[in-house]
Structures are given as C-alpha cells and as structure tokens.
A and B are shown apart, each in its own frame.
Chain A
Amino acid sequence: MAAHLKKRVYEEFTKVVQQQQEEIATKKLRLTKPSKSAALHIDLCKATSPADALQYLLQFARKPVEAESVEGVVRILLEHYYKENDPSVRLKIASLLGLLSKTAGFSPDCIMDDAINILQNEKSHQVLAQLLDTLLAIGTKLPENQAIQMRLVDVACKHLTDTSHGVRNKCLQLLGNLGSLEKSVTKDGEGLAVRDVQKIIGDYFSDQDPRVRTAAIKAMLQLHERGLKLHQTIYNQACKLLSDDYEQVRSAAVQLIWVVSQLYPESIVPIPSSNEEIRLVDDAFGKICHMVSDGSWVVRVQAAKLLGSMEQVSSHFLEQTLDKKLMSDLRRKRTAHERAKELYSSGEFSSGRKWGDDAPKEEIDTGAVNLIESGACGAFVHGLEDEMYEVRIAAVEALCMLAQSSPSFAEKCLDFLVDMFNDEIEEVRLQSIHTMRKISNNITLREDQLDTVLAVLEDSSRDIREALHELLCCTNVSTKEGIHLALVELLKNLTKYPTDRDSIWKCLKFLGSRHPTLVLPLVPELLSTHPFFDTAEPDMDDPAYIAVLVLIFNAAKTCPTMPALFSDHTFRHYAYLRDSLSHLVPALRLPGRKLVSSAVSPSIMPHEDPSHQFLQQSLERVYSLQHLDPQGTQELLELTIRDLQRLGELQSELAGVADFSATYLRCQLLLIKALQEKLWNVAAPLYLKQSDLASAAAKQIMEETYKMEFMYSGVENKQVVIIHHMRLQAKALQLIVTARTTRGLDPLFGMCEKFLQEVDFFQRCFIADLPHLQDSFVDKLLDLMPRLMTSKPVEVVKILQTMLRQSTFLHLPLPEQIHKASATIIEPAGESDNPLRFTSGLVVALDVDATLEHVQDPQNTVKVQVLYPDGQAQMIHPKPADFRNPGPGRHRLITQVYLSHTAWTEPCQVEVRLLLAYNSSSRIPKSPWIEGGEVSPQVETSIEGTIPFSKSVKVYIMPKPARR
C-alpha cells in the first residue's frame, strides 16, 4: 500500500514540476499552498460518516504536501483526530502524520507533543501501534535531539506493558531505533531514572508472544547496528531462545548469537555439565552449527550463512564441522573420503572394486560414541546434504569463506566441495565450482579428486563447463599424470562440445604456464615425436592439436629445455600460432631464432608512460589553442583525432580514454565546421538547400554525446557536465538551423520554449558545477536568461547565434578509469550456410550468445535488435536471468530470440545486433518524496534512445511451407 501510495505521490509531483517550468516567473504556486490544508479541513468537516472521512483522507494522501504547509495540515488532522470516534479513521490519520513528518525540510518536533498527547488517551491497540510508528518516524527524523529521544523512549517503555502484541512490537522497535547510545547523556535528563535499554529489551526475550520475542531480538540487533555495544550477558539469554518453538525467533536468535560472538570472541564461557571452559566464539560456533540441523529451513539457511563469517573460530572446532564419525553395527568405519585418500597414498589408484572394502574395522566402545555432539560435529556434512538447495548453497558459500581464511581447512573441505560437483541442482554445482576456484590458491588437487572434477567437463550445461575451465586455469595439479588426465578430458570435451574451443585453449594456456615441469616429461608423447623416425605432420587446423600446442608453448616459456624436444614442424606451427593466436601463445626464446624473439619482445614490454604522455600532450595542444584561425583549428583537430584513434588501436589499455577524447574532439570539430559554413551570411530564402550540413552536424553531435554519456563506464559527473553542455550547444545549433529554414513562427515558438526548458533543466541538474563553466556557452546563456525569457523567438535565435560563435572550447578533464562498452556476438556465427528452417507464421527461436564488456547494469540497458529483410526492426528485452557475470566488467548474454514474420516465402537474411538503451532523465536528482522509497518503475523502464554497440550478424533463415 505504502509503495503504491508513494508512486502515486511521485506521479503527481512530476506534474507540479512541469507547471513550475511553464510559469517560472509567476508566484502562483504560493497562492495554492494554504488552500491545501483549508481544502482538507472543509472536506473533513463535510464528511458525514467515518467511511466518507476515510475516503477524503485516502484522496488527500495521493497528493504531495510541501514542507511549508505540512504544519498546517498536521494541525487540521490533529483537530479532526480528537473529534473522531471511528478507530479506522484515527488509524489513517496516525499513519498520515507519520508520512507527513517524513517530508523533507519539515522539522517534526512541533508535532511531537501532540502525538504523545493523543497517544495517552488512545484506547484502540491498532491506532496505538500506528501512533508509535509515527513517533518512530519523528524520532528518526531528529537523531541529534537527545531530549526528544529520551521522551520517546520513555513513552515506549510505558506502553511496553500493553496487552496487544502489535503495540509491544512497535515499542520495542522504537527502543531499538532510538534507545540512547551513551549512558552519560541519559544522566542529565531531567530527573529521569537512567534506563538501561538493553535490560528492558532483554526482558522481552521471554515474552509470551513469539512476534514480540522476535521484535525484541530485532531491536537488540538494531541497537548493535547503531553502534551500541551489547552486553555479554545477552549471550546466555539468546542461547535459550535457540530452542524456541517459533522459527522466526530462532532465526533472529541465531543472528544475535553471531553478533555477540563477534563482539566478545575471546571471553570464556563454561560448558554446562562439565568443568571445562571454552572461548565464547567457539561456543557460539558450536551452537550455530547445531542450528544447521534445525527443523525449519529458514533457520538452517540463516545458520549456514553466518557460519561463513566466523573466522576467529579455533581450527580444532572448524575441522569438526567436516567430521562425522561413521560406524556400522557399532564398529568404526572409514568414510569414502578416507578410503580414497588411503588408496591414493598407498599408490593404488581407482577405488575399490571389492565388496566389503568399506567393511567396518575396529569395535567401538559404546560409551564413547556421542550421537548428538553439542559441538560443531558434522555441521557442514549435514548442510551440504540438506534437502533444500538454498541451505546447500549457503553451506557452500560459508565453506568458501572459511576456507579462504584457513588453508588447512581448505585442504580438508576439498573432498566435500568435489562431491558437490554432482549435486542435482545446477546452481549448487556452479556455486561449488566457483568456490573451488576462489580457494584454489590454498589447495592442490589429488588425482582422484581431479578425476571427479574432470568428470564434470562432460556436463551439458555451458555455464558449468566454462566455470570448470576457469577453475582449471588456477588449479594446482600435483603429478604429470594429473596434467595428462586434464588434457585428455579437455580434448574429450572439445570433441563433444566444439563451441568450447576458446575457453579450452585459454584454460590450457594457464595450465601450461603453471606447471612447466610437469608438462616437460609429457612433451614427446603429446607431440608424438619419435627418437628415430619422423612422424606425420599433424593438421594445423585441428583445434585439438592447437590445444596441445598451446599447453606446450606456455609451459616452454619458463622451461628453456623444452624447445629442444620440438620437431621442425612444431617450430613452424609456433610461428604461425604466435601470429594468429597471439593472446594464447607467448613469445619464446627459441634456439637459432633470435630474430623472431627479439622482434617480438619489445612490443610485449609495456611502455605505458610514453604513450600516456603522448595522449596528454596532444590533448593539451588542442586545448591550448583558443584563438587560432578557423582553418588551423580544424586541421589540428583532425590531426589529433587521427592520432588518438591510432593510439587507441595500439594501446588497448588506453583505448577507452583515447576514444572518449577523440569523440569529444570530433564533436567540437563538427560544431566548428557547422559554424564556419558560409550559409550564415546568406539570406534566409537561398539557404534552404544548403542547410543539410549544419543540421546533420547537429544531429551527429547529439548522437555522439549520447554515446559519450552512456557507452563508457567510469564517466564521472564533471565529464557529464561537459557532455551535456556539448549537447546543449548542438540543440542550440539545431534551433538556429530550423529557425533559418522554416517559415512561420508557430513551430519556432514551441521549439524556443523547449530549448529554454532544457537550459533550465541543465541549470538545475548541474548547479554545483556551474562555476567550472566560466566563459562558456551556458555561462553566457544563463546571464542572458531573463532577457531570453521575455524576448520573441526571432530575437532568441539571433542571440543564440552570436553566443554560439563566441563560446569557447571547454576543456574535458580525463577520468581516471574509462572503458568503452563493447559487445561481440559469438553466436549466431554469421557466415553459416545452413539456413535456420521454420514455418512461416510460427515462431522460431534463435540462440544468441554474446559477451559484453564494461557495460553497467546490462540487465536494464542491453537489448537485442532484429532487423527483418523488409526493413522491419524489432527490439527484444532479454530476461535479467539471461545475463551471467563471469568476471569484473564482463558480462555474458545467453538468450533466445524469437523470430516471427507472417509474409515470408524466400530464404532471407535477418540481422541481429545488440543495442544499448539509455535514458538521460535517469540523471535527474530524485525528488524528496520518493527518496528512500522505491523508484517508480516507469522511470526505470522508459527508454529514450538506443546506441548500437556490436557488429550486426546476419542469420540465414529459410521458411518451410506450412503443412496443412
């Protein structure tokens, strides 16, 4: 309801803004303000029944109220409140009071007294709860005012004894949010007894209503969040709540225990029923571990998640979580993991083929077996086997976090993670693969583990396979058999799924460079060389052969003895691959081929400084020219743009900056060119035909500015100002051109109006940056604003024209990090001759797979465009779930596009490309009424325009005759 209300409120508010723009000079708005409360008053007086009054209030709530008139409205509402008998109306009024007190710019301390007053006489529990909520809103609005906070806490304490759970809930919430942080402050409060908020809240841990208990724990957590240090005594109370009957209580209690354990990790607590004592964090860890086998899955998820962040736990406890003593008929049994490890260490690979190799061994002393250990025993074993995948994922995540902080634990949890690779839910499998990658620095895979890991390479899910490739990139393998096994499995994968080619090559590159010494003994076998005979030269285009070569060459980089084992054709193939796949094949120092290596090495060496210097210098050169003759300026600009573009091509790390500045310079160049046109001097009538250039320039500048604003990641506010400024200039140019080409004043009138609105908008958005724009177009424009407002369109155009010509060239400060968004469509591949068949009139699904780089928020901005042969274009919004995020700055779009067309007879090509949708109004600072609330969905989804940012791919499509 609240969300709905806020949305409504926002809609109305935007209207108000527009009105303001239309009649800027008038003071009409001021007149309407007092009438708001008056109208409400009249309405409420008119109301004959409570239902009527409620209706009026509901209507009123849809409109926003300005900060100045809030107080008046509040008075009216309060007045009505006293008279009202119906609790539902009072409830609404109470909620309105809360909403109003949140209004920005309104200080609600004046209504607090009234609110507390009406609270004392209120009988209805619901209204009471709502009023307390209002007080909470007021209290949070005035965080500095200690006296008010004290009073509110007092009120809350008074109502804590209420019989309704709702009221108690709100009171506790109030205490949690406003309870005083420091005791010293409370002492000087006028004679009030010093209230120990924690004690008061703690007393309600044993309330009879589970909702109140939950609220009490939440309030305590809130106190902690606000920086109040919780007492350690709470720990015992919270532990009791772990066996509560209600899941929400248990869930909150788990959180509280976690918080306390982080506050007092080192204090000592006794173990009940024994004389021993342990650290609090260990005790808490044990308790939370116990909750992993709770009856409610919500609690289990919560517990599993929190386990991950308890890093101070002693390793002895930590390792227990993976321990589950097996037994069979009271005899000790080894786990499959232990058996596998033993087999491996005894040198015999492959697990037992005999029945009874898991036969139980020694007898167990019945007294020593503990079936429900109080400690952490087997928590993760249970969590990873849980019925709900949410719990399993949480457990895997926790495992990951703990393993990252403890290498020994990482080693131990490996077996369990490997087991998770066979989970039935893909998400869990994926998560565990990612986890393994994150901890791969701490671990070395045993052969049997590697075997299980590699078995997943056959998975039909592409995500899983690619995640696994990434994992293999940073895995440590212990033996040369392991490397061989990995290579064989990867090649198997390659034959089964040829689309994985790139990812497999990349994987082998890292595998090779990480394990040069392990690859070395494998080289003759891999290259199938023979000491005496020449073997047949392998096919150079075979992806599998390339894969093997990538592995070997990367290993050879740090292993100088390896090239000696190469045969002649291997060297030739090296030279070829070094050229064609330079990102996968490193430069090698080959014997007798010094030339090759020396020619290659300098370009590898990064020379960042000189190129960066060059960039700076060329830009400075441009900015320094202010009053060069037009011809010279143009030439210099053209030259610099060319330089920058070339630089971007050469230095990939500077591409973003170079492109960005080149684009800006091009805009400037276009502007200058347009202004240099002779046509400005020509009389208007003659001018009609020649105007294309100027208007085209204006249009292009606009496009380029949109590109600058939305296609680059890392653009900061100071760049945005310049970009907007440039766009404003383009708009001015457009206005002038149209003014010259069109006759009649009517269209011009509207355009002028619009332009001035734009200027106003610019001013409001970038008011903070205006001082930096000294002497610029806008600066001058704003000076003349009052004149422009009143003058006629023709004059406006004239003024603009002169100003545009006088304006100076603004310096574009370079951002720190800037990257151009780019996209490559991997699939459909384009040059396929096999047409996609479909029945015309029905739908055909086209798989699209693309990688996106440096795109911010791709879920909302990236769209797929399909161009049909008849020129019809269709834009498709991919689902948010279609985007994966394999690494920072990278995204991957895997989606299906549905094509459909009715009239279609011949095989034709359909074009597919990716678009970047933008919406410049999203930069508007958000209005206070929707602040903190959710943004209205309309703003989010509306698309102002799109920029194509990938090469288009043609797909051959052939219709089948429809069968009858």
Chain B
Amino acid sequence: MPEIRVTPLGAGQDVGRSCILVSIAGKNVMLDCGMHMGFNDDRRFPDFSYITRNGRLTDFLDCVIISHFHLDHCGALPYFSEMVGYDGPIYMTHPTQAICPILLEDYRKIAVDKKGEANFFTSQMIKDCMKKVVAVHLHQTVQVDDELEIKAYYAGHVLGAAMFQIKVGSESVVYTGDYNMTPDRHLGAAWIDKCRPNLLITESTYATTIRDSKRCRERDFLKKVHEAVERGGKVLIPVFALGRAQELCILLETFWERMNLKAPIYFSTGLTEKANHYYKLFITWTNQKIRKTFVQRNMFEFKHIKAFDRAFADNPGPMVVFATPGMLHAGQSLQIFRKWAGNEKNMVIMPGYCVQGTVGHKILSGQRKLEMEGRQVLEVKMQVEYMSFSAHADAKGIMQLVGQAEPESVLLVHGEAKKMEFLKQKIEQELRVSCYMPANGETVTLPTSPSIPVGVSLGLLKREMAQGLLPDAKKPRLLHGTLIMKDSNFRLVSSEQALKELGLAEHQLRFTCRVHLHDPRKEQETALRVYSHLKSVLKDHCVQHLPDGSVTVESILIQAAAHSEDPGTKVLLVSWTYQDEELGSYLTSLLKKGLPQAPS
C-alpha cells in the first residue's frame, strides 16, 4: 500500500527547531533544519540520529528544503551538513541563500565568542554548508532526481520565505514554512494555486487568534511616533535586525515622506546594513507598491533613515532610533534606553513579544522602577508603548490557505498543542479534511491511492466512442478491453489485439442456465409465450423466434423443454457467451420472475 509518512523531529506541537521528515513514494525529504531558542544543550538541535541509526545521511535523504532564513528554520544547517555529515542538495530561495549565512554567522558569534561554547560549528563550516545549497526561483519546478520535483510558492512572512510543493508522480505534499496571509508594508501575501496535494503541512503559530486589521495597528504606531516627535521627544524602537525592522523602517520612511517631517531617524548599524542591501536587491520578492515604484526609487534606499552613532543619543531635539536587540536585554537598545528613560517626553515602543525576565517584559508589565546591575535603580518616566507586528497567518488565514490549496489532509506543526487542538477540530468540521498534529518523533502515516497511467490504444477508444453517446467529461464510462502489463508499463487494448500480440487462440466461453417455469402447456407454446414476453420487454433488442422452436435474443439462445419428472414444469435453457454476460444475466433474472399470465 503506497503511503506518505511524516515525522517531525522538531516543531511537532512546539514552536522552534523546525525539522520535519517526509517520506513520499520512496523518497525521503527533510523540511527545514532549525534550532531551538529555548535550549542551550543538545536539545537545541533536532536529533538527527533518528534518521539513520547507522549509515550516512546522504544515502537516506534525497534532499533538504529550507523555507526561510529565520534561525528556528535554518539554524542547525551547518551542524547537520558539516558535523553530522550530509552531502546531498539543500534547496532554498535566492534571498534565503543570501541572508541565511549572515544570520548563522551572527548566531555562531554569540554562541562561541560570547558564551564560549566549544564544539560548535565554525565560519568555515557555514561556508562549506552554503556551497551545497541550490537556489530556486518562485514557481520554478526543480527536478531533484528523475521522479522527485519541488516547486516554491510565495509565503510573505520574511524576505524570501517560501512554501514548497514536493511531488513524486501524482502524489504531493505542500510544506508552508511560516507564512502570512495579509500583506504588510514590504511583503505581499502568501499565495498558492489549487494544487490539491495529498498533504498540506502548515504552521499554526496563531491557531487560536483572529487578528484585527493591520491598518489600525499601523496608524496607532505612526500616530504615537508622530506625537512624540512633535512634542520634541525621542523615540526608541527596539527591534531584531531582520524582518519586522525593515517593515517598520518602510512604514516610518513613507510616513516621513508623506508628512514632510524633518526629525532624524537612525538605525543602529551592524548586520542590518548588509541585510538592507539584500532587501534592495530582491525587489521582486517584495509587495506590489515597492515592486512598482522601485524604478523611480528603491524604497529600501532610505532617505530619512541614517546609520546611528553612539554619540547621537545625546543630541538635543527629537529623533527616532531603531536599536537591537528587540527585548531590551542587552546591547545598544538597553544603553539608549537607560539614557532616555528619565524624560517623560520620550517614548519606547516595543514592537513584539518579550520573554520574561528581560527589561522589555518588565516595563511592559508596568514596572516603573528597574534595578540595573550594580544596584542602580532606574526610574522609568518615558512612555512605554506596545505594538504587535507579527507576520504569521492567523486562524482565518490558515483556513484560507487550506481552502486555496484543497489538500486531502492537513498536518499541523509549529504551534502549541492546545491551540492546534482547536484548529484541528475546526479544519475537520468546516473543511471536512482529515487533520493530524503529531508530536516530535511521532510518525503519521497516510495511505494514498496514486493514480497509475494506462495507455489505451486509439482503435479501442474510437470503437468505444462510436458505440456510446458523446463523451461526458464528468461521468465515468465503462470500457471493455484487455489490460496488458509488460515491462512496468500498462496498456489497454482490445481483446482481439491482445490475443494476437500474445499469440493465443480465442476461447469461447458460454454460460448456460436452467430456469424452471411452471407452465402446463406444450414446449412450443411456452417458447412462443417466452418470445412474445421478451419481445414486449426488450424493445430495442432483436428478439427472434427460430423455426426449431428456440428463441434468440441477439446471440442468446433460449430453448424450452419439458421437465422429465414433472410435466407441469417447463425447463428453459438459457445460454449466452461471455461477451453478452450483462444481457444474459438480465434475461435470466427476468425469466425467473415468471411469465405474465396469458391474456387467454
């Protein structure tokens, strides 16, 4: 029985460490290869030993697909390919290929240089790993080998994020990665055609949330920044370097442009500049507005946003600063925060979720006095705002995508078990599609019924067509022929041709059947009665009464004979060839019901 097997090594009922194994029609594919933010031990990487106990990964896996450049989707890649050992192809989109190494390098630096970890992958390993990458374009069908093909669809979320369709023959799986169904200031919405895969593996981060329109949030954000700047205050926006930061930059940049504002906007430097460079290059991956206007001006060539220098923080007058990291736990954003916290004209806007224990979390929960290192107490007088900008599809969006792709079944990953449960129930109820949500290491097996192509000889097809009415696209038709299986290909030919090809002689196959009729009359009369009965019932068949007293319907012969023991019963002998099976069995059942009473 053909089947599709899916085993999440990470991201099964969990967020982070996305890594899903898919076996489809004998091909093994690994989807994403991420790390977990929450762990610093072995658990941060997926357990690759699960894939093969002994033996090389390359022999077992046909390819690896990376959906986008976030570390929880690609963080374990150098470890996997260089330290565990995998030499097969790794597929990702061009922007992911470009930005991924920057983030990996950053991650490595923090792990090795700051935390002093040993036995971590090196810069060289990142480079070697990236050499194994094959970049794909949107909607480009890539043949991994003779049978396995993959195709990328736009997913929104971050620059270069893609959904992948993995297809072998007529069986296919779609993996969404992370995606966003509502467009934002720099990226469009995810889109997929009606590809009707056997299985859709979708993220479910916001499985239980339906979000408000993006516009309100944007407007609030802009209004707050604008008001603070007009008051002469300074605005601090802690961000992570990639993704949302660019969206907020675009938002502020266009707003400044529209409103003719003059206050400076700064962006703390670092890997952002490199990343911004890639944003400029991959214009085709952005949204309609940026794509259409980049000829006049590339939106990522910011006019109002300049690089930040440490000294600028003390400048008088209003300004807006984007600084890393996003949770105010260390680095430049915290430094600036300490400088500005004392003035009530200033403002800090947290654009995302903050982990417990960070300064960001403390101020968001309303703490006004913070203990800093060295027993200092920092009084926070500045305004604290919270704005959620997140680029995952919400429950409605997930349902919308499922509706667009029309899969046979859905599998949820990248979300919390409790929330998945709700969405699973909804999907099964409303879309009537079976839904799975395996935990890490749990395997889901889906039986499939792949269609097998069969060649039909033209002669047979034409003959069948000539017999029946017009072909109707939506209705199945019965076709008589002989199926020949030879060298793993299938052909349907007419029986004569099959006999000829195989060099066999035709055998006649005849069925005979006796029907007992209670009729005291003579045989001839019975035959006559049978004849007139059949004549009246089978109007469009040729019914004949032969001189020897037998009746024929087409090629079916009916003879009446007296029963040897009981003269009141007549035995009807019905005989038909195999080809007329349908009519023959119909006739016997008809005759078994008995003849109508003669009018006399």
**Which residues of A come within 8 Å of B, CB atoms?**
161, 206-208, 245, 293, 295, 324-330, 333, 335-337, 351, 353-356, 358, 366, 369-372, 378, 381, 384-389, 416, 419-420, 422-425, 452, 455, 458-461, 496
Report whether B215 and A372 are in contact in the complex, using a CB–CB cutoff of 8 Å.
no
Report whether A424 and B254 are in contact in the complex, using a CB–CB cutoff of 8 Å.
yes
Stretch at the interface among B164-172, B183-191, B530-538: B183-191
Q: How far is the CA of A425 from the CA of B215 in the complex (A)?
A: 13
Contacts of A371 in B (CB 8 A): 210, 395-396, 399, 426, 430
Q: How far is the CA of A670 from the CA of B185 in the complex (A)?
A: 67
Q: How far is the CA of A684 from the CA of B396 in the complex (A)?
A: 94
Chain B 159-181 residues near chain A, CB threshold 8 A: none
Report whether A425 and B289 are in contact in the complex, using a CB–CB cutoff of 8 Å.
yes
Q: How far is the CA of A686 from the CA of B173 in the complex (A)?
A: 102
On chain B, which size bracket covers the interface? 35 or more
Q: How far is the CA of A366 from the CA of B422 in the complex (A)?
A: 7
Report whether A385 and B215 are in contact in the complex, using a CB–CB cutoff of 8 Å.
yes
Report whether A422 and B213 are in contact in the complex, using a CB–CB cutoff of 8 Å.
no
Report whether B223 and A336 are in contact in the complex, using a CB–CB cutoff of 8 Å.
no
The 6 A-B residue pairs with the shortest CB-CB distance in the complex, in nearest-first order = A336-B216, A208-B473, A387-B183, A355-B386, A419-B215, A458-B259
Interface check B287, CB cutoff 8 A: yes
Contacts of A385 in B (CB 8 A): 182-183, 213-215
A94 to chain B, nearest CB (A): 27
Contacts of A337 in B (CB 8 A): 216
Contact with A along B210-239 (1 / 0, CB 8 A): 111111111110110010000000000000
Q: How far is the CA of A354 from the CA of B192 in the complex (A)?
A: 39
Contacts of B338 in A (CB 8 A): none
Chain B, residue nearest A329 (CB): B208
Contact of B400 among A327, A372, A389 (CB under 8 A): A372
Q: How far is the CA of A355 from the CA of B191 in the complex (A)?
A: 33
Report whether B258 and A335 are in contact in the complex, using a CB–CB cutoff of 8 Å.
no
Contact of A353 among B218, B383, B404, B425 (CB under 8 A): B383
Contacts of A459 in B (CB 8 A): 258-259
Q: How far is the CA of A452 from the CA of B222 in the complex (A)?
A: 11
Q: Can you list 5 A-B contacts (CB < 8 A)?
A: A372-B431, A378-B396, A385-B213, A424-B289, A452-B223
Contact of A327 among B183, B191, B208 (CB under 8 A): B208
Report whether A295 and B419 are in contact in the complex, using a CB–CB cutoff of 8 Å.
no
Contacts of B216 in A (CB 8 A): 335-337, 419
Report whether A295 and B215 are in contact in the complex, using a CB–CB cutoff of 8 Å.
no
B352 to chain A, nearest CB (A): 12
Chain B 350-368 residues near chain A, CB threshold 8 A: 350, 364-366
Report whether A384 and B213 are in contact in the complex, using a CB–CB cutoff of 8 Å.
yes
Interface check B47, CB cutoff 8 A: no
Contacts of B254 in A (CB 8 A): 424
Report whether A329 and B473 are in contact in the complex, using a CB–CB cutoff of 8 Å.
no
Contacts of A455 in B (CB 8 A): 223, 226
Q: How far is the CA of A333 from the CA of B388 in the complex (A)?
A: 14
B404 to chain A, nearest CB (A): 5
A366 to chain B, nearest CB (A): 6
Contact with A along B238-262 (1 / 0, CB 8 A): 0000000000000000100111100
Interface check B209, CB cutoff 8 A: yes
Contacts of A419 in B (CB 8 A): 213, 215-216, 219
A794 to chain B, nearest CB (A): 66
Report whether B217 and A328 are in contact in the complex, using a CB–CB cutoff of 8 Å.
no
Q: How far is the CA of A751 from the CA of B384 in the complex (A)?
A: 87
Interface check B403, CB cutoff 8 A: yes
Contacts of A161 in B (CB 8 A): 470
Q: How far is the CA of A452 from the CA of B287 in the complex (A)?
A: 25
Q: How far is the CA of A336 from the CA of B388 in the complex (A)?
A: 13
Report whether A460 and B422 are in contact in the complex, using a CB–CB cutoff of 8 Å.
no
Report whether A422 and B425 are in contact in the complex, using a CB–CB cutoff of 8 Å.
no
Q: A371-B426, A387-B183, A455-B223 are in contact. Are A336 and B419 (CB under 8 A)?
A: no
A76 to chain B, nearest CB (A): 39
Q: How far is the CA of A336 from the CA of B217 in the complex (A)?
A: 8
Q: How far is the CA of A327 from the CA of B384 in the complex (A)?
A: 24
Report whether A422 and B222 are in contact in the complex, using a CB–CB cutoff of 8 Å.
yes
Report whether B222 and A388 are in contact in the complex, using a CB–CB cutoff of 8 Å.
no
Chain A, residue nearest B388 (CB): A358
Q: A353-B383, A371-B396 are in contact. Are A245 and B211 (CB under 8 A)?
A: no
Report whether B209 and A355 are in contact in the complex, using a CB–CB cutoff of 8 Å.
no
Report whether B365 and A355 are in contact in the complex, using a CB–CB cutoff of 8 Å.
yes
Chain B, residue nearest A378 (CB): B396
A450 to chain B, nearest CB (A): 13
Q: How far is the CA of A758 from the CA of B395 in the complex (A)?
A: 75
Contacts of B131 in A (CB 8 A): none
Q: How far is the CA of A605 from the CA of B382 in the complex (A)?
A: 61
Report whether B193 and A324 are in contact in the complex, using a CB–CB cutoff of 8 Å.
no
Interface check B581, CB cutoff 8 A: no
Q: How far is the CA of A920 from the CA of B280 in the complex (A)?
A: 53
Q: How far is the CA of A378 from the CA of B397 in the complex (A)?
A: 12
Q: How far is the CA of A458 from the CA of B222 in the complex (A)?
A: 13
Interface check B385, CB cutoff 8 A: yes
Chain A, residue nearest B218 (CB): A422
Interface check B310, CB cutoff 8 A: no
Q: Which of B212, B219, B288, B470 has the most CB of A within 10 A?
A: B212
Q: How far is the CA of A356 from the CA of B535 in the complex (A)?
A: 86
Contacts of B480 in A (CB 8 A): none
Contacts of B385 in A (CB 8 A): 353, 355
Report whether B260 and A496 are in contact in the complex, using a CB–CB cutoff of 8 Å.
yes
Chain B, residue nearest A295 (CB): B404
Q: How far is the CA of A425 from the CA of B293 in the complex (A)?
A: 10
Contacts of B364 in A (CB 8 A): 355
Report whether A351 and B213 are in contact in the complex, using a CB–CB cutoff of 8 Å.
no
Contact of B288 among A326, A370, A378, A389 (CB under 8 A): A389
Chain A, residue nearest B256 (CB): A460
Interface check B194, CB cutoff 8 A: yes
A458 to chain B, nearest CB (A): 4
A107 to chain B, nearest CB (A): 37
Q: A355-B384, A389-B289, A459-B259 are in contact. Are A206 and B213 (CB under 8 A)?
A: no
B368 to chain A, nearest CB (A): 13
Known: A324-B212, A419-B213. 10 other contacts (CB 8 A): A161-B470, A206-B473, A295-B192, A327-B209, A355-B386, A358-B212, A372-B400, A416-B213, A458-B260, A459-B258
Report whether A355 and B366 are in contact in the complex, using a CB–CB cutoff of 8 Å.
yes
A103 to chain B, nearest CB (A): 39
Contacts of B213 in A (CB 8 A): 324, 335-336, 381, 384-385, 416, 419
Q: How far is the CA of A381 from the CA of B211 in the complex (A)?
A: 11
Report whether A460 and B257 are in contact in the complex, using a CB–CB cutoff of 8 Å.
yes
Contacts of A293 in B (CB 8 A): 400
Report whether A295 and B191 are in contact in the complex, using a CB–CB cutoff of 8 Å.
yes
Report whether B211 and A326 are in contact in the complex, using a CB–CB cutoff of 8 Å.
yes
Chain A, residue nearest B214 (CB): A385
Interface check B474, CB cutoff 8 A: yes
Chain B, residue nearest A294 (CB): B404
Contacts of A245 in B (CB 8 A): 194
Contacts of A387 in B (CB 8 A): 183, 188-189, 287-288
Q: A353-B385, A458-B259 are in contact. Are A336 and B189 (CB under 8 A)?
A: no
Contact with A along B118-161 (1 / 0, CB 8 A): 00000000000000000000000000000000000000000000
Chain B, residue nearest A327 (CB): B210
Q: How far is the CA of A210 from the CA of B388 in the complex (A)?
A: 44
Chain B, residue nearest A353 (CB): B383
Q: A355-B365, A371-B399, A372-B396 are in contact. Are A424 and B473 (CB under 8 A)?
A: no
A286 to chain B, nearest CB (A): 15
Report whether A336 and B209 are in contact in the complex, using a CB–CB cutoff of 8 Å.
no
Q: How far is the CA of A420 from the CA of B222 in the complex (A)?
A: 14
Q: How far is the CA of A329 from the CA of B219 in the complex (A)?
A: 24
Contact with A along B404-430 (1 / 0, CB 8 A): 100000000000000100100110001
